[in-house]
Amino acid sequence: MPLNPGSVVGPYEILSALGAGDMGEVWKARDRRLDRIVAIKTLKGPHTGRFEQEARAIAALNHPNVCTLYDIGPDYLVMEFIDGEPLRGPVAADAGVRLACQIASALESAHQRGVLHRDLKPANVMVSSGSVKLLDFGIATLRGSDPEATRTTEGAVVGTVAYMSPEQAVGKAVDERSDIFSLGAVLYELISGERAFAGESAAEVLSAILRDDPRPLAAPEAVGRIVMRCLRKSPADRYQQMRDVRLALEHYAEPGKQTAASIAVLPFVDMSPGKDQDYFSDGLAEEIINALAQVPDLKVIARTSAFAFKGQNIDIRRIAETLGVAHVLEGSVRKAGDRIRVAAQLITAADGSHLWSERYDRELADVFAVQDEIAGAITKALSARLSIGEPAGRQHTPTLAAYEAYLKGRHRLWMITPESLHESRDFFQQAIAADPRFAQAYTGLSHHYLTLSMFSLMSAHQAMPQMRANAQRALELDPSLPDAHALLGIVSALYDYDWEESAREFGIAMAREPVPPWVRNVYSLFHLMYHGRAGDALHEMNQALSDDPLAVNLRYTMGVCLVGAGRLAEAEAQFKRVLELDPAFMTAHELQAFVCVARGDVAKACAWAEQAAKLAPWDPVVIGTHAATLGLAGDTAGAAALLGTLGDGSAFGAPIGLAVHYLLRGEIDQAADWIARAVDQRYPGILFFVHIIGGALRESPHWPRLAAMMKLPDRP
């Protein structure tokens, strides 16, 4: 249809040309009936009945980030006129993520109505005053409307080559995951200013899409991880729904954002006659937390923060306000003989009203069915008010004996004393003996060996192979376990110095939503901080604390990252908060001593180190720290006596204790020698101390030799 300014198409008066594309031309026009400005897109050929059906479906999309389709004619579409500019990069990562959140939200809405876009590209996204409008659904298709609708046409590729998915490029059927790939390509280009897949011809671009990985994105690692997961070749390896992409982007953009669909599961009260079932009632609440954490769009506060109120008579509304949730689940357990009685109540925090309550009387063997029933009932009750999905099914139901032993092992592991750690190993081994297919029991045992080596209670050469073997066995039973992948990432980093393999394992651990706060914690400590990326680590810890705001270990790691970033005052505030929550958290006292030494306040450093020594007199790092502060304060005899307890430095952990001592005293030559011995022992926390108190060491002539020993690709 030839048009020019002044032409009339039905009730529309053409005003000016806006541009041309593969499917036709776009004109600015005025709707004479409603006196509004519209955009008219003329099509190169008549559309089919199927297209009319799809056009009506797209017109029904009611989303603020979708350009509204007003009308269709024999060879034209009438759309909302957008006074803006096409999406262009490069932009800062944070700005790009904010725009991508809007695009993902628009595509999610379309996918929910069965509409696939199939031609997502920067030119089809208009930006006006910071808001985006997704347009040009010209080749969109209704999922399920036509078996051939989701395939490319014979002899031609439907879509824009640089942004299409591998399956779209070769003419295979596509689904929501194809649009997810295209969104990844768009966001990559938006942030970098370059296409993810380049080439001088369409054939070269297609070849890159099918075979090559894009160059690493120069952006915070969390953003790069989201983008690269979208761009994986196999649809099965990408996010599976656009909702998952949106949630990941929003979690990066607003890690502390509270949603109406949010819940905290408080520890269940032990009402058993003997009051000896704490581990069981806690375990029941934890399993319900784990089940609810798999529900899409539901924010679930992690165990540590939810359990911070255990044994305290605090108003539910105050708890909800502290944790930033709209709903709270509380309950009780009475266990007698081979029967249990569980009572649970779901409470709306705003007014304290009961949204749901139930009592369960069951045989003890039915405990897992009770957990699933409660999680399902809560989801159903919340679904009546909120748009959330269904809880995931149980991967494996362990035997009751294995489950009880596992809970006891976890309970002892968290105490972190030599005695409790010995007991935790016994319980995890009992769980495995009772049910060899219980994957979490193997991750618990793997975590046990990590803790032993971290606190110098077992040599790394003994502990790390055991840690690896148990994590691998857990993955053989359940390949989806993020904790097991993270544990293998730690072994690769701290024992093998295989940084590439460590990055791969941590990438898998961080890829599945929701990411457990513990995984973010160890990823920050043992990967990001070890490569000197304190900024990225701080971002991950902000997200972890959003899910688990009262977790002492997370706040401690946040303080560590702040020290690494040189933000000492903020670090001290974090360590102060840690000790308010748990005065016996030994390593917070230790880090406070480090900070005080850096600030030249020797008296306070001595006080903090002395308190750490009271809590863990057996830890070589604590001994080295205490000796250093005494020496700096002039007590050379006291310092020498403490150092004498480390003997000749050959015992496991002694070299790192001596290295910390000399680093704090600024005696770099001696520190470098002891660091080298600690590397031979594979002490797992070497780089932790290098980054926290080893600035002078990293600038010294000793560092290239030490870095080479740890196979570091560059300076940390």
What is d(CA 298, CA 290) in angstroms, rounded to the nearest whole number?
Answer: 12
| Sequence-ordered list of residues with C-beta below 8 angstroms from that of 523, at least 6 positions apart, any chain | 486, 489, 506, 509, 510, 540
* Helices and strands of the chain, counted as H and E runs: 30, 17
Q: Determine which helix (DSSP H) or strand (DSSP E) holds 13, and give its type and residue range.
A: strand 12-21
Q: How far apart are CA 466 and CA 567, in angstroms?
A: 37
**Contact 265/285 with Cβ under 8 angstroms?**
yes
Q: Report how far residue 503's alpha carbon sits from residue 130's, in angstroms, rounded to the nearest whole number.
A: 35
3-state SS, one letter per residue, for 299-364:
EECCHHHHHHHCCCCCCHHHHHHHHCCCEEEEEEEEEECCEEEEEEEEEECCCCCEEEEEEEEEEH
Rounded-to-integer distance, Cα 329 and Cα 356, Å: 9
Q: Nearest-CA neighbor of 305 among 319, 287, 288? A: 319
Q: List the alpha helices (DSSP H) in 10-87.
A: 49-59
Could you give the dihedral angle defined by the CA atoms of residues 616, 618, 622 and 628, in that order, rounded to the nearest 10 degrees? 130
- What is the DSSP annotation of 349-415? TTT--EEEEEEEEEEGGGHHHHHHHHHHHHHHHHHTTS---PPPPPS----HHHHHHHHHHHHHHTT
Residues 6+ apart with CB under 8 A from 317: 349, 350, 352
Whole-number Å distance between alpha carbons of 572 and 556: 10
What is the C-alpha to C-alpha distance for residues 349 and 481, in angstroms, rounded to an integer?
32
Identify the H or E element spanning 79.
strand 76-80
Q: Tell me how far apart the alpha carbons of residues 674 and 655 are, in angstroms, rounded to a whole number.
A: 5
Q: What are the two backbone dihedrals, phi and then psi, of residue 233, each rounded to the nearest 5 degrees?
A: -65, -45
Contact 388, 295 (CB under 8 A): yes
3-state secondary structure of 39: strand
Whether the ω angle into residue 5 lies within 30 degrees of 0, i.e. cis, is: no
Residue 119 known to be catalytic: yes
147 SS3 class: coil
Q: Pick the catalytic residue: 22, 35, 75, 119? A: 119
Give yes or no for a contact between 75 and 43, defined as CB atoms under 8 angstroms apart: yes
Kindly give the pairing relationship between strand 115-116 and strand 76-80: unpaired
Secondary structure (3-state) at 173: coil
Contact between residue 406 and residue 398 where contact means Cβ atoms under 8 Å apart: yes
**CB 39, CB 28: distance < 8 Å:** yes
Residue 503, CA distances (Å) to 192, 496, 642 in order:
22, 13, 38
CA distance 134 to 67: 6
CA pair distance 117, 128, nearest whole angstrom:
21
State whether residue 226 is helix, strand or coil: helix
In 23-175, which residue ranges form alpha helices assigned H by DSSP? 49-59, 93-112, 166-169
Catalytic residue IDs: 119
